[in-house]
Each structure stands twice: as structure tokens, then as C-alpha cells.
Structure 1
Amino acid sequence: MTAAPAWAASESREKQMLRRMQQQVQQINQARAQSEQEKAAALADKETAERELEKVRSGESTSKRQLASERAARSRAEADLKALQAESDALKARLAATEKQLADSVALQRATAQTLAQVESAKKQTEGKLSGKAHDLQVCQTHNGQLYAIGREMMQKYRDKSCQDALAQAEPFTGLKKVEVENLLETWRDRLDREKLSVTP
């Protein structure tokens, strides 16, 4: 009777130990499962973090490319601006040179017009003087013809004068021929005076 309780007690201890061992195994399994879950969660978090990091790196790379592109575009814009500024300066210089050339041309045109007006005025004066000279020449030719006619007439009278005419002119009593000769001389003198040209200053 005494052995039975001892065996029963021993069996009870073994069962308790077995239960404790089972509990420990169960706890270990639970802990391992929890650890596996935590590991899986950690791996998931790691993958998520890696994806986020890749996104950040990709975004950073994109930002760098965008920044490089913007810098290149800015450099091109600055170069274009400098080229446009240089072209604008060149156009301003050409415009200033053209305006100066135009002003010089206008001044030259005015001077030429003034010179032409002076030449035209001198030409008109010369033409007027030439016309006056031509008129004077015509008058001289007319008077010269008249003087030539008077001279021819005087020569004709002298050539046709006879001895009787000379005696009649020297006749002291009546003096008729002398008066006739003096009248003829007076007529010739008047005609010569009419044909004499007056000198104008």
C-alpha cells in the first residue's frame, strides 16, 4: 500500500515535469514564432526602408539631373543673353555710324545745294553781263558801221573835190562855198557825236 502512493507521486512529478517541459517547448515555440514574425516584420520594414531609400536616391538622382539640366539651361540662357547683348551693341554702333553718315550726307547736300545756288546766281549774273556785252557789241557794230559810212562819205567828198570847189571855198567876197563847207562839217560833227559811245563805269 505504501509503494502505490510513492509511485503515484513519482508519476505525478514526471507529469508535472513533462507539462513544464511541454509548456517550455510551447513557450519556446511561441517565442520562436514571435521571433519569426518579428524577423519577418523587420525584413519587411527593411525592404520598405530599402525601397524608400531607393526612391530617395532615385529622387536625388532625378533632382541632380534636373539641377544639372537647369544649370545647363541657365548657362545657355546666359550665353544667349551675352550674344544678344553683343549683337545689340553692334547694332547700336552701326546705327550711330549710319546716323553720322546720314548727317554728313545731309550737310554735304546742303553745302552742295548752297554752292549750286551760288553757281546758278553767278551763271545768271554772267549771262546778264554776257547779254549786256552782246548788246554793247551790237551797238558798237552799228556805230562802227555808221562811222565807217561817214568816213567813206568824207573820203568821197574829198576825192571828188575839184579845183573850182577849192577856189570857191577860198573866195573872200561872198564866202558861200565856205559856209556850205562849214555846214557840211557841222553836219558830220553832229553825226560823229551821235555815233560816239559813252563809256559807262
Structure 2
Amino acid sequence: MIRLEEVKDDDTPPSKPPQQPADFETAIDAAGFGMFNILLLLVAIGAAMGTVYETSTMSYILPSAECDLHLTLIDKGILNAVTYAGMISSAILWGYVADTKGRKKLLVYGYLADTICVLGGAISQDVVQLMIFKYLGGFTMSGPFAVLMTYLTELHGRQYRQRIMMLVGIMFSLATLSLPGLAMGILPQTWNIQILGLS
């Protein structure tokens, strides 16, 4: 009896099993760490610094603004707290907006709106204007900040995620350390800039 066996050609590569769909974590882990991640961290430095500056500048401004704006103790307390009141009051709204309109739009337009609030606070002529702009700054900062933290954790694989969060902490620490230096360099100056007749 003759047995026939299937003859395999040695030149043909072995067949690969069909690829299975991967979940998000597996895909991000497979992507590794590259130029995109480095650029993302570099962009995040400015955003992290903006967040710290938005929430911490009043403690440096109050001593020099006390005489100019005739601040009472209650005014000082409100000015220190009003940014956080804005952040708390907008938390749920920003979560909804991020989920329905997209995170990228929220990041871009949120930081742009915060820039406008900071500029408005910088040219405020009385304490009520300053309080309004600080509240609006806190209101607009809450959404982009939350989205930024989400991006930084989601766009890095499990292998790098803890190190990235450590780098985020370093970014916030550097921003906090740079703020007194900026205050010492800017606040003692006697600049008088007139914009549309306002000085």
C-alpha cells in the first residue's frame, strides 16, 4: 500500500493566524513611546504652567493691588477663593462638553478663553472687575485642565503611565517655583501703559 503525503514547499512561509482586534490599552502599549509622546509633554508644560498661574497669582498680586484697588480683608478673601469657586461650579458642565463636543475643541477653545480672562483681569480697574475675571478664569480653566490630564494618561501605555504622571507633578512644581521669580521681576516695576485711554 502506498501512502500519499502532502508535500510542502519549503519556500512558502508558514501561514499566520488571523489578527484579532485589539482593545485600546493593548494598542497604546504596542505604540510604545516616541516623538508624539515627547511633543505632547512639551505642549503640556505650557498648559500646566497656565493652570498654576491661573490659580496662584492672587497671593502675589494682593500686596501691590491692596492700595490701588482699596481692598478690604473680605475682598482679599474673595479674590483668593473666587477662582476655585469658578472651577467647582463648572465641573459637571465641562464633563458633558468634553464628551459631546470633543476633547480637542475643549482644549483649544478653553485655553483661548482662559487667555482672554487673564488679559481681562490684567487690565481690571476695580475689584469687581477683577473678581469677575478671576471667576471666569476658574470657570474656563476647569475643563481644559481635566481634559489635559486625561490626554496625558490615556495616550501613554501602562508601562510609561506612572512616569508620565511623575513628570506632570514636576511640571506643576516648576510652575509653582517660577511664579515667585516672575512676581519679583514684574511687580516692582512702575510701568504705565495706556490702552484706549485707560491707564
Tell me the TM-score normalised to structure 1 length.
Answer: 0.29
Tell me the TM-score normalised to structure 2 length.
Answer: 0.29
Please tell me whether Structure 1 or Structure 2 has the larger radius of gyration of its CA atoms: 1
